A and B are shown apart, each in its own frame.
Chain A
Amino acid sequence: MKNKLKLMISFLGINVLMFSCTETFELNLERTEPKVVIQGLVTNLPGPYFVRLTKTTNELKVKYEPGLYAEAYDDHTEIIENAVVIISDNQGNSDTLIPSPYHNYIYYHGDSIMGYYCTQNLIGVVGREYYLDVFADGKYYHAESIMIDAPVIDSIYYSYKEGDIGKPTKITPQIYLDKINNNVLYGEIFFTREEITHYNLMWWYSMLVDLNDYPTDLPIPFYAYAENGKNYLEPYDLSEDFQWAIVTMDEKAYNFNKTCYQQFWDDGGAYKPAPATPIGNISGDAIGVFQVSGVSIY
């Protein structure tokens, strides 16, 4: 994965020609019927688990105001209320979700529901298959996925590299895993100084990994940030008090997340591949993914 990541990074150099000029392009979008967007996550960590229902928009301008940190988590997108959302498993357990502010961003938005629906009593168990059924705006959407056991982190070693003049020392973690279950192909690494729970599995602190390519050790986590409208990757300035987690997911969820990531780099420019809509595992022409993950914490 890291090999390919670096190749991807190298192509950034081609995007900007020496002689090129740029200007904002007014794209006149056709007014199309909005699509339903479904974002669901069930793990083997303590619940409740949540599903978010929103709609696409024909606008390309983001409504929140950059610079306001808390606002960054409030996308002001159109939410879907009064939907029926049910998560069940192959053991006969079923849970009808209720609108709730109890989600990732509760810290920033208090009791604002923002289109989230939460489980009431469901417990995520590794090895079970989970089903999502959504009835919204007169349409039915369905997804299913198996919770795969996450490999255990055996050890993490940190190596230190002195930074260039004016730059800080870099700390590079090398993560070693126990033998991986053959069913595990894809995952995500999370790392945070806080205790890892179902609620802080947020994008900022994660990195997709193809565990199939790296059976024992994992790549160095980078983080992406935007500056002056450009995206950059930087290795995380880590310290040894971070808590780590390996989160598994099925191939469709992995591909959905990966495609979203790629949108930061594959912008559709002349030297980039044609971009495409991320395709998840939800039927009924909805955009989104129902991710069912086993989590191991180190």
Chain B
Amino acid sequence: MSKIRIITLIMLIVATNTLVGQNVTIFGHVTDSTNGEFLIGAHIVCLPSNVGIVTNNYGNFSIQIPSGSSTLMVSYIGYTTFIKPIISDKNIECNISLIPEPKNIDEVVILANNNSMKISTPETGLHSLKQKDFDNIPSVGGIPDVLKSLQLLPGVQTTNEGTTGLSIRGGALDQNLILVDEAPIYNPAHILGIFSAINTKMVKEVVVYKGDFPEKYGGRASSVIDVRLRDGNNQEFLAEADVGILGAGLICEGPIVKGKSSFIVAGRVSYAGFVANCAKKVSTVIPIYSLNDFHSGNNVYFYDINGKINYKINSKNTLYLSVYNGFDYFYARNVNDLSTLDWGNTTMSLRWNRRSGSRIFSNTSLIYSGYNFNNSSGDFTSISNWSSTINNFNLKYDVDYYPNSNNHVSLGAGVEYMAINPGELHWDNQSSQEFDFSLPIERTIQPFVYIGNEQKISNWMILNYGIRFSTFGTLGNKYVYSYENEVAIDSVWLNKNEFEKNYVFIEPRLTVAFNMRNNSSIKASYTRVNQGIHRINNTSVSLPTDVWVPSGKNIEPIVSDMFSVGYYLKPKNNNTIISLELYYKEQQNITDYIDNADLQMNKHIATQLRQGNAEALGFDIMLKRENERLNGWISYGYSYIEHQINEINEGEVFYPRYHKPHNLSVVINFKYNPRVSFNAVFKYNSGGFITLPEGTFFYRSKPFSYYTERNGYELPAYHRLDIGMKYISKKNKARKWKAFWDFGIYNVYNRKNAFSIYTETSWLSLNVTKMYIFGATPYITYTIKF
């Protein structure tokens, strides 16, 4: 505790010792003039003092400048720069509405301010994508996808094509904190990972932290994916509907009280199963070879709905309520006509955003996130229902404090409570051989407090330092076992409020940026983060039936130390930014599974897990161009990941399945004229590693396989090219609506990339089979806006 006190004291001294008596404070918020949405990350500069700052997550800012005459400049990508002379000797509230720039493609839009901020702010491994970035990337079925778009960023991998699981800078799939309006999402996938659960129509911004976390984030060992949703248009009513091959969507937004309160509602529904059934029927009539692999009799669909309202109580207080519900249903008749699987997420965020004075902005959040699945299966005698739930409640208080123009203090506290029901099994038509069975509910409590400061030391150096202090306690109302050689040798009953284990996490964060004269910068960062919960899964693709278990007496939390250093360059008079980042990640207590682990409904799950160390080393290179007519990026990432866990792979080092050293992405968006634009994606990465047979042996006169070392076989490389075109219908003055078309082909040259390679062992034969999901897949989407 003494360390924390000292650090806090230093921060406060540093934050206050530069207060200057003759300064005045300009504060307020920045919004879009057409819809009233707050703009996150807008750049504010006062001249001639050249003091700069960016708006926070609620569009607020506070900047101290010398009293007297100044010029305030506010800029944001895609908006006309706002310039206002200010003469003042006292604090001023200045709420700014930026006007979107006219869509003139011949104009070379200079986005220098935003790029400058990118290279000068003290963050490494950070990417920010807006809704239009996702819309401009060709996608399966024409459904823009947040998580699959992120796979085009350097340092972001996935295990299997077309799935939403992410390995970021060598981290495991369960080490990403995915937040939607601050609510964590436990399974961000629809249709077994084919689509992500985040509706891009609702997205205002997605910020990806690949390793350098601000202090306010914690709980996951590798990355944060912070999805911030739109607030809704508070100026006019708008609606948009789209229909595509695999799904349809509708979004409505408008003012409740004009300029003061607004709502936004968006829903999507997918009829993928229906489409697959139709494709099968078509294949029986028309001999199209590629349709022969479709199966009929499926019932696979999903829906999700987002709703959000905000109410501006007065100039200081605003309330936000954000709700999400998603549901999936999966039934594949051709395999098991008695088996169904459904799952879904529900989240709710209630936030009170408050400005206190001219320098303090606070946010109080009450957050709920829930997840559940139900797997019903049976045979000729009875039906079993296997279900699991997660309920997470989070109450937190975050403060942004701007004591002066050289310091931005972030501090906050909160508590998170989680209840996980790992599994219940109920039987219909129960017989004497079948009995209901449930695992004890796991409950955890995680209080936390953090403080950090972004301090401008000089014009060429910015320091960001902070610390997050938290505890992770697992509560009782269950038996806790002791094990020896995988056998329970003792058990102790813990009452409801007794701790099975209470871990203490102290997580320092440090980043430094040196701004060079040639419009470039060098940054370095160190982040420590701990993860107390683990997703139980020994497949390469996340499943809806994956269960989370908390650390406790027998399972330790993951400890992750992340280092990175980067060089960033923005050539003058150019809309391009070039970045090179090197990183090293070291993790302790990562979990993996013994061979042939028994993970389902196992109350002694700890006996099936082993913990060890992971190392990831690599670099990310990115060249990004931001221009109205031609934009996109080229990125290359190299990574080397190793795991070492006693009792797995005989204790030898092995690669995880997401070890894919080379990762190249090219994303291009070209606006041919105001109504037609083209986009393309090329993706190449190493194939990854899996466990495959090394040979065959016969036992009881049947063939069986013996295998390579864990993940000892490297798959062929993965690559594909996607192309798309957007077309805006000619404006008809007699109509009140406007139509848009999206056409494209995913995987143009029909590369049969391996989704999975597996061995089929039957009583009489043994075959190795490659499964691929997406060959050349065309899509078309029709959208109307009114």
Contact = CB atoms under 8 A, between A and B. Distances in A.
Nearest to B756: A270
Contacts of A165: none
Interface string B745-761: 00000001011111111
Interface centre among B272, B541, B700, B770 (most CB of A within 10 A): B700
B696 A277 contact: no
B518 interface: no
A61 B762 contact: no
B755 A25 contact: no
Given A224-B763, A267-B761, A268-B691, A22 B770 contact: yes
Interface stretch (B18-26, B328-336, B674-682): B328-336
Contacts of B375: 7, 10
A191 to B, nearest CB: 16
Contact of A271 (B290, B539, B761): B539
B705 interface: yes
A161 B380 contact: yes
B706 A56 contact: yes
Contact of A12 (B300, B335, B599): B335
A21 B763 contact: no
Interface string A149-173: 0000000000001010000001010
Interface stretch (A28-36, A131-139, A241-249): A28-36
Contacts of A174: 431-433
B458 interface: no
Contacts of B600: 4, 7-8
A15 to B, nearest CB: 7
Contact of B692 (A27, A74, A235): A27
B763 A3 contact: no
Contacts of A25: 754, 757, 768-770
Interface string B582-625: 00000000000101111111000000000000000000000000
A48 to B, nearest CB: 18
B377 A271 contact: no
A61 B597 contact: no
Contacts of A61: 766
Nearest to B693: A60
B736 to A, nearest CB: 38
B539 A20 contact: no
Interface stretch (A89-97, A192-200, A225-233): A225-233
A35 B425 CA distance: 42
Nearest to A270: B756
Interface centre among A4, A18, A55, A75 (most CB of B within 10 A): A18
A102 B767 CA distance: 32
Contacts of A6: 377-379, 384
A280 to B, nearest CB: 9
B773 interface: yes
Interface string B695-709: 111111111111100
A17 B597 CA distance: 24
Contact of B695 (A8, A59, A258, A259): A59
A57 B696 contact: yes
B727 interface: no
A18 B769 contact: no
Contact of B433 (A34, A54, A220): A220
Contacts of A263: 704-705, 759, 761
Interface string B450-482: 000000000000000000000000000000000
A37 to B, nearest CB: 5
B415 interface: no
A37 B706 CA distance: 11
A257 B597 CA distance: 14
B341 interface: yes
A82 interface: no
B220 to A, nearest CB: 23
B379 A24 contact: no
A277 B595 contact: yes
B696 A161 contact: no
B706 A277 contact: yes
B224 interface: no
Nearest to A73: B701
Given A2-B433, A19-B774, A267-B759, A277 B766 contact: no
A56 B759 contact: no
Nearest to B593: A273
B380 A235 contact: yes
A29 B276 CA distance: 36
Contact of A7 (B377, B380, B595, B706): B377
Interface string B357-382: 00000000000000000011111110
Sort chain B's interface into a size bin: 35 or more
A46 interface: no
Nearest to B775: A21
Interface in B367-411: 375-381, 384, 386
A62 B765 contact: yes
A219 interface: yes
Interface in A233-272: 235, 255, 258-260, 262-264, 266-272
Contacts of A203: 700-702
Contact of B272 (A18, A163, A287): A18
Nearest to A41: B700
Interface string A258-298: 11101110111111111111110000000110000000000
Contact of A275 (B336, B599, B691, B763): B691
A255 B608 CA distance: 13
Given A60-B768, A224-B763, A225-B763, A9 B379 contact: yes
Given A37-B697, A59-B696, A60-B705, A19 B773 contact: yes
Nearest to A114: B701
Contacts of B763: 72, 224-226
B601 A4 contact: yes
A58 interface: yes
A229 B381 contact: no
Given A25-B768, A35-B706, A259-B596, A18 B384 contact: no
Contacts of A64: 764
A77 B133 CA distance: 58
A104 B702 CA distance: 13
Given A14-B192, A54-B697, A66 B705 contact: no
A93 to B, nearest CB: 26
Contacts of A34: 695
A39 B704 CA distance: 13
A218 B692 CA distance: 34
A16 B295 contact: yes
8 contacts: A13-B332, A32-B695, A60-B705, A229-B760, A229-B765, A259-B596, A277-B707, A279-B595
Given A25-B757, A229-B765, A272-B539, 13 more contacts: A14-B192, A16-B335, A18-B272, A24-B769, A30-B694, A56-B697, A72-B763, A105-B701, A226-B764, A260-B704, A268-B692, A270-B541, A287-B706
Instruction: Name the 7 nearest CB pairs between A and B, nearest first.
Output: A10-B377, A276-B595, A226-B762, A269-B758, A270-B756, A25-B770, A18-B276
